[in-house]
Amino acid sequence: MSFKVPSNFNELLKLIEGELSPISVDVRSSKRIYVDIKKEDIRRAAKLFLDLFEPLRGRFSTATAMDCRDHFEILYHFSFSELGLVLTVRCKVPRYKPEIDSIADLIYGASFIEREIHDLMGIKFMGHPNLRRLVLPDDWPEGVYPLRRYG
Amino acid sequence: MMSGGELVIPLGPYHPAFKEPELFKLYVDGESIVNIDIRLGFQHRGIEYLAQKLTVQQVVFLVERICGICSTSHPTCFCQAVEEAMGLEVPDRARYIRTLIAELERIHSHLLWAGVALHLIGYDTLFMYFWRYREPVCELFEELTGNRQHYAMLCPGGVRRDIDLKKMRPKILKVMKEIKEAITKLADAVARDRLVRARMEGIGVLTKQDAIRYCVVGPTARGSGLKIDVRADEPYAAYKELGVDVKVMTEGDVLARTLVRVLETLESVEIIERCIDSMPNGPITAEFNEYPVADGIGKHEAPRGEDIHYVKLNGTPVPERVKIRAPTYANLPSLVPQLIGYSIADAPIILGSIDPCFSCTERVSIVDVRNGRTITLSMDEFNEFCRKRKNPLKVR
């Protein structure tokens, strides 16, 4: 680990700003932080947070994919029990090229949700070790994504 | 993945140790499991999609139907997410009522699980004892909420129904006293029984490192030495005032997960006693009539672990997006390290030990890859093999 483990909220914010060069940081309360990063940086963020899992009793909770008409948005929710907060990392994924790097090989807990998003929203997770169907049936037609709102 | 001497044993999609259909392919070499593959989706009901078509008040009843055992978990989670998005302050009495319902639910869910787990290893006497003490809790629920399950108690901003504490207090305390005495006695019977220990101790070990990597939650995490509990880490409802003593075991085996649940049941009894002693009077709902463009996250410690909802509102009563992550979804992948190296006969109790949410139609197909022979077993037959610790392929 090349950094000091943050012991409080402000140190965590500083660490994120220093290590991830986020586009914006939105602090809603002492329990909720939203960080916007470029989608190319998601693996860097995953590596950083994976190192924090043990000292901060953290985990990857889940990811939400949203259809925002002109682009998709993926929200990665990380929980850190030691600080009692949820850190949400937001990435924009363009509609014309719905692809983002997978973090499932780093954080095993992310494997299912990436497969689910791939099923329901049609976003490809590049480098996922096993991007097969998870929730949709095997005979579901190709290219039909139930959670896409705008086609 | 497959070499000459391996067998593939698909458990499911309709499966003996599960409340929901899922497909587990066990790759076995002789008796021992060498790899597993999990396939979900046999019960995919499109709840997230449906939630985008209903108003927030209706979604509460929709998400309540996700699970029939921990049926207050999802509404609690969803309401908290909506309240966070709206900036609603929940009245004190409502927070205490939510805590009371959540803890009663934890008791009935853990007792149900303990019974099922003991049934899976063939100890049916204790199964009946555990369920005998679950029954009064369900009766309490009927009196408190009108229903044994699917209580429909929550709404965004508070609870839908007040409880008559004057009338219910002696009844709740009586049931709690009974459960405390019974569970202490039954837990002792479980922990000391040599046969139970032989089936649970050192079986299905999940190391702390694996628990972190697989991001497990709830009793599965706490059985592996991870001290995580939403009630203590991010207190919601009335947990801040009432306090929670988080129970942790470090062994990581089936026995540890069992004992964590037993200790948690006793802790829940104490939380309920404190809760009804200090429940304040006052209103039970906060009113709202505007729908902002905002988002919020709701978290709740369900009996099976951390439940998390993300809700985005778009200024109308119908939410833009509702994301639901139930605890079993987080715990299922951790079955890979838990099962590898153990025998087929241990599979049902290991699968059962994460307390996954049972389907009624269950069967198991077992494929012998050496000659392509497939045999299909009913749930009863498969459980019989589990109890007798026999390899079904050798019998037929």
Whether pLDDT at B210 is above 50: yes
Is B144 in the same domain as B23?
A: no
* B39 in contact with chain A, both atoms CB, cutoff 8 A: yes
Mean pLDDT for chain A? 92
Does any domain span residue B308? yes
Least confident of B277-281, B310-314, B348-352: B348-352
What pLDDT does residue B5 have?
A: 63
What interhelical angle do B92-120 and B73-86 show, nearest 10? Answer: 150
Is B10 in the same domain as B147?
A: no
pLDDT (average), residues B308-323: 94
Between CA B253 and CA B349 the distance in angstroms is 11
Whether pLDDT at B2 is above 80: no
Q: Locate A66 and state its tokens.
A: 């949203």
What would the 3-class secondary structure string for B228-292 be?
CCHHHHCCCCCHHHHCCCCCCCCCCCHHHHHHHHHHHHHHHHHHHHHHHHHCCCCCCECCCCCCC
Does any domain span residue B210? no
Nearest CA of chain B to the CA of A63: how many Å? 8
Q: What strands, in cross-sheet order, belong to the sheet with A58-67?
A: A24-29, A32-37, A85-94, A71-80, A58-67
**B299 to A79: CB separation less than 8 angstroms, yes or no:** yes
DSSP B354-368: T-----SS-EEEEEE
Is B17 in the same domain as B132?
A: no
Cα–Cα nearest to B335, from B5, B12, B4, B2: B12
Residue numbers in A near B320 (CB within 8 A): 66
Whether pLDDT at B360 is above 50: no
Q: For residues B117 and B109, is the Cβ–Cβ distance under 8 A?
A: no
Residue numbers in B near A135 (CB within 8 A): 40-41, 44
Is B311 in the same domain as B374?
A: no
Is B284 in the same domain as B389?
A: no
Is B112 in the same domain as B12?
A: no
Question: Token pair 């012998």 is at which residue?
Answer: B368
Confidence bin at B396 (pLDDT 50/70/90): very low
Do β-strands B293-302 and A85-94 pair in parallel, antiparallel, or remain unpaired? unpaired
Whether pLDDT at A12 is above 60: yes
Q: Which structural domain range is residue B159 located in?
A: 47-199+280-324
Residue numbers in A near B310 (CB within 8 A): 62, 64, 75, 77
What pLDDT does residue B96 have?
A: 96
Cα–Cα nearest to A62, from A42, A79, A80, A84: A79
Nearest CA of chain A to the CA of B245: how many Å? 15
Q: Locate B141 and state its tokens.
A: 């629920």
pLDDT (average), residues A41-65: 93
Residue numbers in B near A113 (CB within 8 A): 325, 329
Is B140 in the same domain as B21?
A: no
For chain B, report the end-to-end CA distance as a whole number of angstroms: 26
What SS3 class is residue B123?
A: coil
What pLDDT does residue B364 have?
A: 36
Confidence bin at B294 (pLDDT 50/70/90): very high
Residue numbers in A near B325 (CB within 8 A): 61-62, 113
Domain total in chain B: 2
Q: For residues B326 and B66, is the Cβ–Cβ distance under 8 A?
A: yes
Query: Which residue of chain A is at minimal alpha-carbon distance from B312?
Result: A66
The helix or strand, by DSSP H or E, that contains position B124, with its residue range, turns out to be helix B124-145
**A32 to B297: CB separation less than 8 angstroms, yes or no:** yes
- Residues B66-103: tens digit of each pLDDT: 888 888 999 999 999 999 999 999 999 999 999 999 99
Is B173 in the same domain as B306?
A: yes
- Residues A97-142: tens digit of each pLDDT: 999 999 999 999 999 999 999 999 999 999 999 898 888 888 888 8
Nearest CA of chain A to the CA of B25: how many Å? 14
Nearest to A81 among B213, B228, B297 (CB): B228
Residue numbers in B near A149 (CB within 8 A): 52
Whether pLDDT at A39 is above 70: yes
Residue numbers in A near B46 (CB within 8 A): 146
Nearest CA of chain B to the CA of A12: how many Å? 17
* B323 in contact with chain A, both atoms CB, cutoff 8 A: yes
Is B114 in the same domain as B80?
A: yes
Question: Token pair 């269950």 is at which residue?
Answer: B362
List own/partner pairs for A129-132 with CB under 8 A and 24 or more apart: A129/A102, A129/A104, A129/A105, A131/A102
Query: Which residue of chain A is at minimal alpha-carbon distance from B49?
Result: A147
- Residues B94-149: tens digit of each pLDDT: 999 999 999 999 999 999 999 888 888 888 898 899 999 999 999 999 999 999 88
Between CA B384 and CA A45 the distance in angstroms is 48
What SS3 class is residue A11?
A: helix
* B25 in contact with chain A, both atoms CB, cutoff 8 A: no
Is B140 in the same domain as B95?
A: yes
Cα–Cα nearest to B155, from B291, B275, B59: B59
- Residues B218-252: tens digit of each pLDDT: 999 999 999 999 999 999 999 999 999 999 999 99
What pLDDT does residue B383 have?
A: 64
Does any domain span residue B251? no
Q: For residues B97 and B283, is the Cβ–Cβ distance under 8 A?
A: no
Does any domain span residue B73? yes
**B216 to A109: CB separation less than 8 angstroms, yes or no:** yes
Domain ranges of chain A: 9-99
- Alpha helices for chain A (secondary structure H): 9-20, 42-53, 111-121
Whether residue B13 is preceded by a cis peptide bond, meaning omega within 30 degrees of 0, is: yes
Q: What architecture is domain A9-99?
A: 2-Layer Sandwich (3.30)
Q: For residues A62 and B325, is the Cβ–Cβ distance under 8 A?
A: yes
* B49 in contact with chain A, both atoms CB, cutoff 8 A: yes
Confidence bin at B376 (pLDDT 50/70/90): low
Q: For residues B220 and B227, is the Cβ–Cβ distance under 8 A?
A: no
Does any domain span residue B159? yes
Q: Is the dihedral of CA B233, B234, B240, B242 positive or negative?
A: negative
Indicate which CATH number applies to the domain containing B114: 1.10.645.10
What pLDDT does residue B372 have?
A: 45
Task: Select, from the ranges B1-5, B169-173, B342-346, the one with the highest average predicted confidence (pLDDT).
Answer: B169-173
Is B12 in the same domain as B53?
A: no
Is B366 in the same domain as B390?
A: yes
Does any domain span residue B259? no
pLDDT (average), residues B249-273: 93
**% chain B with pLDDT above 70:** 87
Between CA B347 and CA B15 the distance in angstroms is 11
What pLDDT does residue B368 have?
A: 43
What pLDDT does residue B83 have?
A: 95
Q: For residues A129 and A111, is the Cβ–Cβ distance under 8 A?
A: yes
Q: For residues B81 and B148, is the Cβ–Cβ distance under 8 A?
A: no
What pLDDT does residue B253 have?
A: 93
Best B209, B297, B316, B338 member to test A by mutation, with max A CBs in 10 Å, is B297
- Work out the number of other CB atoms within 10 angstroms of the CB of residue B65: 13
Between B357 and B12, the higher pLDDT residue:
B12
